Structure 1
Amino acid sequence: MKLSNKLAVTTALAFGLLASAATAADITLRIQTHQGTNTTQGRLLANFVDDVQVMSDGAIEIEMFYSSAVVASAETFDAAMNGIIDCDMTNGSYQTGKNPAFQFVADTMGGYDTAMQYLAWVNFGGGREAINELYAPYNMHFVGAQVGGQESLNSSKPLPGIESVKGWKFRSPPGMETEIFQSLGASPIVMDFTEIFTALETGIIDGADASTLAVNTSLGIYDIAKHTTYPGFHSMSSDQLACRTDVWEGLSPSQQRIIETAHKKLMADYVMVTIVENGEAISKVAEKGVTLYDWSAEDRAAFREAAKSAWDEWAKKSPEAASMVESHKTFLKRIGLSN
């Protein structure tokens, strides 16, 4: 064989091997979210998918299953554990049946004033490490959290401060929130989200814990309820990206870094977009005659103390819950939100 032909064959083989290696290095991650494609977070998740694919030059593909298309929302974590999908982008609180500590992954109820304070705990206050200690026995790796901001209570009656919740009948999700508000003299009623409108119209409840000001506005809740808290103080439920440990460890360090970086962009974008959408909602609810109540620093502090009392009770439920509560308390002191 002539030298030139040998060189051509060698070059072709080399390119073929490189192409095969590139193909072998490609990965597709199957991720489920409970968010719909048209929600604020759903649109940002689509950006996250695009960011990962662009930054990896197409080497990482994400198949995102929206609106819990594969399994029920609360089953997503198990589906990732068992290999049905690769990653969970729902809410850690769905797993409180496994361990009460999962509550403190998703929502401390009154712990933080802003989304950035909670995200600071995750990223710089030991939160990620504490969560991964909890997740490790389930063969899951916590990558990061995404949360927009505080939710707003809505009501048919004024809610100017902490004293106004005494005797207040409102829709509440089950669990720790119900316990906190009961300790303050409120009458929380656990009911499905879909029942809120009928219950408000018929007077079964005086108000509801639904979502943020912007989401409540888009749902039409303020057509009925003419009073709301804003900025909120009581609940800031955070979703997550968590992947099966063997899947995560199977990624190269550069692939992991790409996903972490894209997720931090999602994290920041969600906070900023929520600020914009809530701001736009203020003028809309004003046109509907809705009164906004910004609780005083003293009332917020009183609610936080009531929440921390509930944390102490939940901390008794498992060693992991105690560890998570201690992590939050330590960080709250560190940033001056608690004595």
Structure 2
Amino acid sequence: MSRKTVFTATVVLLGLSASPAIAETTSKLRIQNHQSQESTSGRLIAEFVDQVHLMSGGEIEIEMFYSSAVVKSAETFDAAATGILDCDMTNGSYQTGKNPAYQFVADTMGGYDTPIQFQTWVNFGGGREQINELYGEQGMTFIGAHVGGQEALNASKPIRGVDDLKNFKFRSPPGMESEIFASLGAKPVVMDFTEVFTALESGIVDGADASGLAVNLGMGLYDIVKHTTYPGFHSMSSDHLACRSDIWNAMPEKHRAIIEVAHKSLAMDLIMQTLVDEGEALGELEGMGVTTYDWSAEERGKFRDAARSAWAEWSKKTPEAKAMVESHEAFIQSLGL
């Protein structure tokens, strides 16, 4: 029995006789995410915690840590696997150093047009099983994914298509994205998400891949740069909920089911709320002198060709990466994309 699972017994006395003991199971989880509590994702995560508590009648208690308050974002997965935490609610891409296959859990870079397509791969296209083969090697269980939508690329100059990426110096997360953009002539600079605003303000970079329109607007990026892609085309980074397998398996089946259902609700709410947030942000940008660029099918195709080449190279790195890429490719073909 896991040390994180607490059992209490209650005896009800009726007259001089006692009924059989009624076992009440309480599951307690310590979870860290990398979102601020004020962000859209953070607010929906708080609702997820409340839903789980309500649906379980108080039997499931979640202590949620926001903004990577316990350990650094990239260390959350290992902190859960080693017992400092119980679950990780950050992003699989932080673990690409363990195995390149983690890249394709978090962001396929040009693979899908909408978050619904990606979620369909997870839930109905074999993605969950594929991911759990990977996570199981680390003693972790993948519960689900949540992603709002495509991210925007922001710049101090027009970014109308692939030709405008040449010599474009911009903030990029590590991994496959940097390789794809470099192959198209850009000059990606890998830096932490928290450094984006300062880097743009000081002119260290000419642009940034940060997040979607609404988050970028909230960060003040459009006070500095006045060009952005919308709808996005290049990145749709998905966060996950993953728990240490011994903790997860020790929980009663009904508790696991409640968490799974509540997380699917979170995932769908995030997609819908992101649509609302992006629309409102777009309206504000028009009054701020920001120009948006909706890349043509031809320009998007050029990016996807570069992304496919990167997929092919990454699939050669490990058997797990190859299996993950083949799973995505087969599912994308089955959708007719």
TM-score category by the smaller chain?
A: over 0.9
Aligned partners of 1:335, 1:300: CA distance in 2, in Å? 18
CA distance in 2, matches of 1:45, 1:227: 31
Counterpart-to-counterpart distance in 1, 2:313 and 2:319 = 12
Paired residue for 1:8, among 1, 8, 15?
15
Greater shift in the superposed pair: 188-197 or 33-42: 188-197
The answer on 1:168 being equivalent to 2:175 is no
Cα distance in structure 1, aligned partners of 2:201 and 2:141: 44
Instruction: Supply the distance in 2 between the matched residues of 1:100 and 1:69 (Cα, whole angstroms).
Output: 27
How many Å separate the matches in 1 of 2:47 and 2:191?
Answer: 33
| SS of aligned partner of 1:234 | coil
**Aligned residue runs from structure 1 range 301-320, under 5 A:** 301-320=301-320
3-state secondary structure, aligned to 1:295: coil
* CA distance, structure 2, for counterparts of residue 196 and residue 26 of structure 1: 42
Larger helix fraction of residues: 1
> C-alpha deviations, 1:154-194, integer Å up to 9, x for none?
11111112222122221112221110011111121223334
1:289 deviation in Å? Answer: 0.5
Give identity over the alignment, percent: 65
Per-residue CA shift, 1:107-165, capped at 9, x if unaligned? 11111111111111111111101000101111111000011111100111111122221
* Alpha carbons 2:35, 2:68 under 8 Å: kept: yes
Structure 1 residue 71 displacement after superposition: 1.5
1:90 alignment counterpart: 90
Q: Gapped runs of 5+ residues in structure 1? A: 1-5
Cα 1:57–1:290 shift into 2, 3 Å: same
Partner residue of 1:237? 237
Partner of 2:58: 58
Distance 1:188 1:235 in 2: 14
Deviations 1:229-274 (A, max 9, x none): 0010111111100011111111222211111100000000000111
Residue number in structure 2 paired with 1:73: 73
Alignment partners' CA distance in 1, 2:170 and 2:205: 5
User: Could you say what secondary structure the match of 1:30 adopts?
Assistant: strand
1:289 is the counterpart of 2:289: yes
Q: Distance in 2 between matches of 1:184 and 1:329?
A: 22
Residue 248 (1) aligns with residue 255 (2): no
Cα RMSD, aligned residues only: 1.5
Aligned position for 2:131? 131
Higher share of residues assigned strand:
2
How far apart are residue 200 of structure 1 and its match?
Answer: 2.9
Helix, strand or coil at the partner of 1:181: helix
| CA distance in structure 2 between the aligned counterparts of 1:304 and 1:160, rounded to whole angstroms | 16
Q: 1:196 & 1:70 partners in 2: Cα distance?
A: 22
Distance 1:54 1:261 in 2: 13
Q: Distance in 1 between matches of 2:86 and 2:198?
A: 39
Q: Secondary structure at the match of 2:43?
A: helix
CA distance in 1: counterparts of 2:126 and 2:214, whole angstroms = 31
Give the match's secondary structure for 2:289: coil
Counterpart in 2 of 1:299? 299
| Per-residue Cα deviation, 1:87-113 (whole angstroms, up to 9, x for no partner) | 110111111111111111111111111
2:148 maps to which residue? 148
Following superposition, the deviation at residue 58 of structure 1 comes to 1.0
SS state at 1:113 partner: coil
Read off the aligned partner of 1:117 and give its amino acid letter: Q
Whole-angstrom distance in 1 between the partners of 2:302 and 2:325: 18
- CA distance, structure 2, for counterparts of residue 194 and residue 58 of structure 1: 36
Cross-structure match for 2:225: 225
CA shift, 1:219, in A, is 0.9
Post-superposition CA distance 1:177-234 (Å, at most 9, x none)? 1100111111212233344334334443221111110011111111111110001011
Q: Aligned partner of 1:29: which letter?
A: L
Structure 1 residue 7: Cα displacement: 5.9
